[in-house]
Amino acid sequence: MLVSAKEMLNKAREGKYAVGQFNINNLEWTKAILLTAQELQSPVILGVSEGAGKYMCGYKTVVGMVKGMIEELGITVPVALHLDHGTFEGAKACINAGFSSIMFDGSHYPIEENIEKTTALVHACDILGLSLEAEVGAIGGEEDGVIGSGECADPEECKMIADLGVTMLAAGIGNIHGKYPENWPGLSFETLAAVKEKVGDMPLVLHGGTGIPEDMIKKAISLGVAKINVNTECQLSFQAATRKYIEEGKDQQGKGFDPRKLLAPGFEAIKATVKEKMELFGSVGKA
């Protein structure tokens, strides 16, 4: 079922677990994530960055693929199709294409402009019953060519954005997209607690889920994080499994060159990573 992320995230916040957002890149990725969610009876959020949307031939193609798969694979767990780090234009395009959830990332704008643009989308999403994620304090690392340094959000600004009526809020707490550097100081739980204090019951979103130690994930959930984004880790699992298949020469044996065989180990590796994360986040059996 393609649904807004609102209900699943409110339930997660109340039940002290988190729903995973797993970014998709193609058919294999999408199928692996949906099947794992169904097997584990977990709600799930499929994340689509603007770059990935373009790669998959546009948002309408993505909506068609996801809706088709939900029907043909008999997926009954709640699935949200979510724009990840959208621009204002991207958000409008995804609303028109039929996404069920939108992230508008106005964190790089001055706060007044972030408020203005987020407000317009709050109204649009309200009317259409879509969930909306906003961001305060840039998440570090590189995503689609945009490099951020891992800021800590200002709790007052978080409250200003939360009060606009968004569904969930991504606040920078020293988290970074991609692999964490050796000298990473860890998540700022001080910032997280201060944000939580200001925004009350709003589900909080933790970006940069790849490589955050388990104890930090659990502590973040206990402090109000109800959605955790994972992208790079699935890419790395896919890469390692595909590399192994080729290095073992399996692509040169029999019909090992068949893309359905060549991509199978990577597909299974994504499933294993998603399963591991759903177990860690506590969303198994919560559909």
Contact between 233 and ligand 13P per CB under 6 A? yes
Element (H, E) at 285: none
Residue with the two structure tokens 């402090």: 223
Q: Which stretch binds ligand 13P (CB under 6 A): 28-36, 69-77, 224-232, 255-263?
A: 224-232
Q: What tokens does 192 get?
A: 């997280």
Which residue number, 95 or 230, has a Cβ lying nearer to ligand 13P? 230
Q: How many residues bind ligand 13P (CB under 6 A)?
A: 15
84 is catalytic: yes
> Which residue of 38, 131, 191, 231 would you call a contact of ligand 13P, by CB under 6 A?
231
Contact between 208 and ligand 13P per CB under 6 A? yes
Which residue number, 103 or 287, has a Cβ lying nearer to ligand 13P? 103
Whole-number minimum distance, CB 174 to ligand 13P, in Å? 13
Whole-number minimum distance, CB 81 to ligand 13P, in Å? 14
Which residue number, 84 or 157, has a Cβ lying nearer to ligand 13P? 84
Distance set, CA 175 to CA 44, 57, 67, 187, 244 (Å)? 21, 30, 32, 6, 31
Burial class (CB in 10 A: 0-12, 13-18, 19+), 258: exposed
**Binding to ligand 13P, residues 65-94 (CB under 6 A):** 84-85
Whole-number minimum distance, CB 76 to ligand 13P, in Å? 26
Contact between 133 and ligand 13P per CB under 6 A? no
Nearby residues of 239 by Cβ (< 8 Å), 6 or more positions away: 266
- 3-class SS at 131? strand
Q: How far apart are CA 174 and CA 191, in angstroms?
A: 9
Contact between 210 and ligand 13P per CB under 6 A? yes
Which residue number, 2 or 228, has a Cβ lying nearer to ligand 13P? 228
DSSP sequence for 200-225:
TTPPEEE---TT--HHHHHHHHHTTE
Q: Look up residue 44 and give its amino acid.
A: V
3-class SS letters over 145-179: CEEECCCECCHHHHHHHHCCCCCEEEECECCECCC
Whole-number minimum distance, CB 71 to ligand 13P, in Å? 27
Backbone angles phi, psi at 48, to 5 degrees: -130, 115
**Binding to ligand 13P, residues 9-48 (CB under 6 A):** 23, 47
Q: How far apart are CA 261 and CA 209, in angstroms?
A: 29
Whole-number minimum distance, CB 246 to ligand 13P, in Å? 24
Whole-number minimum distance, CB 86 to ligand 13P, in Å? 11
Contact between 118 and ligand 13P per CB under 6 A? no
Q: Which stretch binds ligand 13P (CB under 6 A): 57-65, 67-75, 223-231, 260-268?
A: 223-231
Element (H, E) at 284: none
Q: Which residues of the chain form contacts with ligand 13P (CB under 6 A)? A: 23, 47, 84-85, 177-178, 207-210, 229-233
Q: Which residues are catalytic?
A: 84
